[in-house]
Amino acid sequence: MQEPFMAILVTRDEDKKQSVAVTELTLNDLMEGDVVVEVEATTVNYKDGLAITGKAPVIRRWPMVPGIDCAGTVVSSGNDLYKPGDKVVLNGFGVGETHMGTYAAYARLKGEWLVPLPQGMTPLDAMAVGTAGYTAMLCVMALERHGVTPENGPVVVTGANGGVGTVAISILGKLGYHVIASTGRPEEEEFLKGLGASEIIHRDELSAPAKPLAKERWAGGVDAVGSHTLANVLSMTQYGGAVAACGLAQGMDLPTSVAPFILRGVSLLGIDSVMAPQALRTEAWARIRSDLDLAKLHALSTTIGFDGIVGAAHAIIDGKVRGRIVVDMTA
């Protein structure tokens, strides 16, 4: 099967100026892997936006097909775990960064990077979750392992209108947590409460430099923002609580002190979705199937076609996107 297919390709010239174009590729242009997947659905995450716009050095190999997620059907396999016709999901493992990604009709991948599409979910459902939603589930699971329960007190979610935030709110709300959503778009209060948030606070309450310790406000948190926001969340976490950190929308720095850790026993739980082992991925996707309301999932998703990917990438970096962007590659 060497017929050409459409793909988005990011290139860079000798002056390191980046350009993005829709082009034709064949399977010979793709990188190594033992499973070829026909991409039926993908998504636009914040990281994908960074890759396409060049706002951060996400891409580390040139040229590159971006796209860090996909769901689709195996068309050929040299891996015993999968056979043609199997439905699979991919998140992470450097795909779209160092390994050619999923903004193409086909992707050649390694079988150990894949997980089976959960029973009862379509490829579009899975991409409404995407890396952002899968990361949100990893955050919730980490808080649970630490012992943060609904009975312990509220849980704050920063970046509430983003992909991680919206899915985290939906999961936590369904599990019975009192969710405090932090957002820079207070006009979205009705939407966020519909997802499961109990309270809305403005992100400005958390974006300035933090005190070493502040009034205890929550038992835990899910943070996709980093920098001063994460520092404030930590300073306001109650004794013995925990915060799951998975993002850097405000910055990679963490201008805090040891006070929350040594005076309140607060734990900072680092969440890596890219290289998480397959057993943890499989558990997370099973939990997504059971603990995420698919009706709410569709309410927080916007579906576009392949032609809309580049524009959506710019919109997500400009903060103009609510919830999840799903790309129907069959449209």
Asked if 71 and 168 sit in the same domain, the reply is no
DSSP 98-165: TB--SSBSEEEE-GGGEEEPPTT--HHHHHHHHHHHHHHHHHHHHHHHHT--GGG--EEESSTTSHHH
Element containing residue 270 per DSSP (H, E): strand 267-270
Q: What is the pLDDT along the chain (331 residues), one digit of tens a residue?
A: 579 999 999 999 999 899 999 999 999 999 999 999 999 999 999 999 999 999 999 999 999 999 999 999 999 999 999 999 999 999 999 999 999 999 999 999 999 999 999 999 999 999 999 998 999 999 999 999 999 999 999 999 999 998 899 999 999 999 999 999 999 999 999 999 999 999 999 999 999 999 999 999 999 999 999 999 999 999 999 999 999 999 999 999 999 999 999 999 999 999 999 999 989 999 999 999 999 988 888 877 999 999 999 999 999 999 888 888 999 999 8
- Strand pairing report for 324-328 and 35-43: antiparallel
3-state secondary structure (DSSP) of residue 90: strand
pLDDT of residue 98: 97
- 273-293: b (≥16 Cβ within 10 Å) or e: beebeeeebebbbebbbeebe
Range of the domain at 20: 5-117+300-328
Asked if 71 and 108 sit in the same domain, the reply is yes
pLDDT of residue 51: 97
User: Measuring CA to CA, which residue among 40, 35, 36, 60 is closest to residue 50?
Assistant: 60
Number of separate domains in the chain: 2
Asked if 89 and 212 sit in the same domain, the reply is no
Report yes or no on 181 lying in a domain. Answer: yes
Burial of 88 (0-12, 13-18, 19+ CB in 10 A): buried
pLDDT of residue 331: 87
- Strand pairing report for 218-223 and 237-245: parallel
Report yes or no on 202 lying in a domain. Answer: yes
- What is the rounded distance in angstroms from the CA atom of residue 115 to the CA atom of residue 82? 10
Identity of residue 77? S
Report yes or no on 281 lying in a domain. Answer: no
Asked if 19 and 110 sit in the same domain, the reply is yes
Asked if 137 and 233 sit in the same domain, the reply is yes
Report yes or no on 189 lying in a domain. Answer: yes
Asked if 174 and 106 sit in the same domain, the reply is no
For 67, how many CA atoms within 13 A lie in the half-sphere containing its CB? 33
- Strand pairing report for 35-43 and 69-77: antiparallel
